[in-house]
Amino acid sequence: MLANTEARLEKWMRQYYFDTDLDLGSSGVQSFSLAELRRLLDIPQSEFDSIVFDDSRTLGDPRLRAAIAAHWGTDPEQVMATNGSTEANYLIMNALLEAGDEVIVLNPMYQQLYGIAEAIGCHLRRWRLRAEEGFAANIEDLRQLISPRTRMVIVNFPHNPTGASITLEQQQELIEIVADAGAYLIWDAAFAEMTYDTAPLPSPRYERCVSMGTLSKAYGLPGLRVGWCVAPTDVLAKCEVLRDYVSLHLSPLVELVARRAIEKADVLLNIRRAQLRTNLAILASWIELQHGVVEWTKPVGGACTFVRLPFVSDTEDFCHQLARQHRVLAVPGICFGYPQHLRLGFGGPTEELKEGLRRFAALLESEADLCKSAAGSVLSAASF
């Protein structure tokens, strides 16, 4: 079924991620090198030399599971380490869903979070985050959507691609609504540790909650391909059976690096959080100077935002031009079902962000006859 369900974002990234010079499309922070990790986390060469490439355990090395559990305040027996949160999502959806199940998903949303449910044959009900309301989540909308037939509610806050989030009080309301329906709550915490003016939201305390995390976003380790889920033990037992047919387990080399990164999480997180704040301020200044040609709601978390180009009718064509003519990666909103928006990532190196924004402005100017008549002049790329 999945073979016929095109992953639009992944297809776009395959086309341009490796063939552009500047990345303004990704949703994570700047990646660390192995040398940087060894220095920052104080990993001696002897630890690598002691690794024996035996098979690992289905749910992950007990030391890695313990590190994840300690960091997120849960029981190691409820933790499964996975090949990225992508695998966690795949296993959870296939373990818990059947064709015809009713599933509530955010709209817009990262496709991988709902695409598997859709491919299984579930009936999707979309909890819309309205652009005109700054993509703020309206809990009353969820209350209207959910029913006794609802099997699962899937959310990610801070949100990909908008950077919007909910308050602690709203999180508790959400949990109560889902619990009243007896549904599973899938809590994607990929961006949980990337917040600006508020403390990160805690993992929901609910007996039918499955929380997923990853080292790909806030930790700057997307190529390590390590994620995890925290779930009831009966759910993990179902995942174990499925995993026997998928990936079996992680590599012991990967598990070592992942464990050390989580054990000293704040070392990595503090570096990239500071960089994110600097980059977000740069992006905010740049957007202000665009005089309405680029519209946004400032994100409260994450490393990306969902901007609207009101005078560009087709952001897919715009992003093609941006990649081919200016060698800058951005993600068109059509990957999330919004053709006038695009995802703009700001988690990379600061100087690359500045240069990418200069080239972005240059393309806006080159197409801006309509923009200029409607909104004055666009900022000169050279003046930023």
Q: Does domain 34-265 have CATH number 3.40.640.10?
A: yes
Q: 125 - beta bridge partners? A: 104
Q: How far is CA 109 from CA 42, 91, 106, 258, in A?
A: 37, 19, 6, 27
CB 99 within 8 A of CB 120: yes
Q: 82 - beta bridge partners? A: 227
**Exposed / middle / buried, residue 299 (Cβ in 10 Å: 0-12, 13-18, 19+):** buried
User: Under CATH, to which class is 2-32+267-369 assigned?
Assistant: alpha beta
Q: 23 - beta bridge partners? A: 329
Beta strand 79-82 with 227-230 is: antiparallel
List where CATH 3.90.1150.10 sits in the chain.
Answer: 2-32+267-369
Element containing residue 104 per DSSP (H, E): strand 102-107
For position 369, what pLDDT does the model report?
A: 56
> 363 is written with which tokens?
């393309």
For position 4, what pLDDT does the model report?
A: 55
Q: Which long-range contacts (CB under 8 A, 24 or more apart) does 129-135 make?
A: 129/159, 129/162, 129/164, 131/306, 131/308, 131/338, 131/341, 134/164, 134/297, 135/159, 135/162, 135/164, 135/297, 135/306
Cα 274 to Cα 113: distance, rounded to the nearest angstrom: 29
Give the pTM: 0.91
Query: Which residue, 242, 234, 203, 200, is CA-closest to 82?
Result: 242
Cα 139 to Cα 243: distance, rounded to the nearest angstrom: 35
Cα 307 to Cα 50: distance, rounded to the nearest angstrom: 48
For position 374, what pLDDT does the model report?
A: 47
For position 2, what pLDDT does the model report?
A: 52
Longest dimension (CA), the chain: 66
Ranges of residues in the chain with a pLDDT under 70 are 1-5, 368-384
DSSP 182: T
What tens digit of pLDDT does each residue of 280-321 get? 999 999 999 988 899 999 999 999 999 999 888 889 999 999
> 91 is written with which tokens?
């296993």
For position 138, what pLDDT does the model report?
A: 96
For position 190, what pLDDT does the model report?
A: 95
Pinpoint the alpha helices (H) of the chain: 8-16, 34-41, 45-49, 62-72, 84-96, 111-120, 139-145, 168-181, 233-243, 252-263, 265-288, 315-326, 350-366, 369-375
Element containing residue 156 per DSSP (H, E): strand 150-156
Residue 75 CB neighbours (<10 A): 11
CB 161 within 8 A of CB 193: no
Query: Which 3 state secondary structure label does DSSP give 140?
Result: helix
Cα 272 to Cα 218: distance, rounded to the nearest angstrom: 7
List where CATH 3.40.640.10 sits in the chain.
Answer: 34-265
For position 255, what pLDDT does the model report?
A: 97
